[in-house]
Amino acid sequence: MSAASVQEKLRAARADLAERDGVLVAFSGGVDSSVVAALAHDALGDSAVACTAKSETLPAAELDDATRVAEEIGIRHEIVEFSELDSKSFVENDDQRCYHCRSMRLSAMFDRAKELGIDIVCDGTNASDPGEGHRPGLRAVEELDAYSPLLEHGVTKPEVRDIAREYDLSVADKPSMACLSSRIPTGLEVTETKLSRVEKAERLLRTWGFEQFRVRDHDGLARIEVGPDELDVALDPDFVRAARDHVADCGFDHVTLDLHGYRTGSVSPEDEATEDADSEDVVANVFDADYPS
């Protein structure tokens, strides 16, 4: 797609948003929703609001990122709190869990929008998303009639990243991040204990310098996945010792390393179809990392 075509899509999306009286953007702080927030702020100024849903499935680091990126954009940032764990359908963790989760999140967004006198809730679904396998979350977007400007104007994932760079957004190359519940295999119950230990373990990996990783929770067994460019580092004896001891301290009975490396949807294909195909370009600066003894 030519740069001119991307600019045409950008102008059309911005003009479309400008015709609205106001919008609330379902804002995770990822690249898709950040671009929508930037477009909405350009088009509507103070009549555009970014809103992040805070729950047990959102890592604290992601909420911090969302707050920071909203400040970069200059858009008003609201936070709504709710718990997916209140939903039996979500906790049971069947192949429609992502649908239940998205429905709850968007419903919370529409409730906050109503409080603010806003009729329209936007999300970051882009034109590449519908073709990426089983996506039950998209059904929730359609059912609740959220507006997806990137999808509406044919903006693909690579184009989203180009637009993010044009806006000089710090998340332009950020890999997509599925919620913490995607680390739990389909059919195993989602609990606060599991979500908490996964978040703690992944915080360790982030602190140690890894960029692309997941800690899968198999009822107390931690299966660590890292990106293919980082696998040699994960096999280093110092990392093995640190992971064995400190990941176990997060609440796991056993700690393992998956030699296949990071794969989207390796326990829940229907959720992590959203994860970013561009992530293989990320090379972590982990070779000089100091691991605790």
Instruction: Decide if pLDDT at 97 tops 90.
Output: yes
Are residue 141 and residue 190 in the same domain, yes or no? no
**More reliable by pLDDT, 173 or 279:** 173
Residue 39 pLDDT more than 90? yes
Q: Are residues 185 and 100 in the same domain?
A: no
Higher pLDDT, 210 or 279: 210
Kindly state the percentage of the chain with pLDDT values over 70.
87
Give the pLDDT confidence of 75-91 residue by residue, as tens digits. Answer: 999 999 999 999 999 99
Residue 287 inside a domain? The answer is: no
Residue 125 and residue 246 in one domain? no
Tokens found for residue 270: 């229907």
Identify whether residues 192 and 119 lie together within a single domain: no
Question: Do 88 and 64 fall within a single domain?
Answer: yes
Q: How far apart are CA 280 and CA 271, in angstroms?
A: 19
Tell me how many domains the chain contains: 2
Q: How far apart are CA 152 and CA 159, in angstroms?
A: 14
- The chain-wide mean pLDDT, for the chain, equals 89
Same domain, 7 and 103: yes
Q: Kindly tell me if the per-residue pLDDT of 269 is higher than 60.
A: no
Question: Among the listed ranges 72-81, 98-107, 208-217, 257-266, which one has the minimum average pLDDT value?
Answer: 257-266
Which of 19-23, 37-41, 178-182, 263-267 bottoms out in mean pLDDT, i.e. has the lowest? Answer: 263-267
Q: Do 150 and 207 lie in a common domain?
A: no
What is the pairing mode between strands 213-218 and 221-226? antiparallel
Read off the pLDDT band of 177 (50, 70, 90). confident
Residues 6+ apart with CB under 8 A from 53: 26, 79, 80, 81, 82, 105, 108, 109
In this predicted structure, which of 14-28, 55-69, 234-248, 257-271 has the lowest mean pLDDT? 257-271
- Owning domain of residue 257: 180-281
The answer as to whether 289 is a domain residue is: no
* Residue 178: band (very low, low, confident or very high) from pLDDT cuts 50, 70, 90: confident
Query: Does 206 lie in the same domain as 62?
Result: no
Task: Indicate whether 238 belongs to any domain.
Answer: yes
CATH number at residue 111: 3.40.50.620
At residue 133, the pLDDT reads 56
Residue 130 and residue 196 in one domain:
no
d(CA 121, CA 144): 9
Domain match, 131 and 184 both: no
Q: What is the tens place of the pLDDT at every residue in 98-113?
A: 999 999 999 999 999 9
pLDDT at residue 197 in the model: 98
Residues 207 and 88 in one domain: no
- The percentage of the chain sitting over the pLDDT mark of 90, rounded to a whole number, equals 80
- Split at pLDDT 50, 70, 90, the class of 54 is very high
Q: Is residue 288 part of a domain?
A: no
- Are residues 39 and 161 in contact, defined by beta-carbon separation less than 8 angstroms? no
Task: Please check whether residue 228 lies inside any domain of the structure.
Answer: yes
Mean pLDDT of 43-72: 97
Does residue 59 lie within any of the structural domains?
Answer: yes
Is residue 7 within 8 Å of 33, Cβ to Cβ? Answer: no
Assess whether 81 and 199 both reside in one domain: no
| C-alpha pair distances (Å), 56 with each of 155, 192, 194, 238, 240 | 31, 7, 10, 32, 29
- In this predicted structure, the answer to whether residue 190 has a pLDDT above a threshold of 80 is yes
Tell me, what's the pLDDT at 176? 78
- The pLDDT of 17-24, averaged and rounded, is 97
CA angle 217, 81, 27 (to 5 degrees): 85
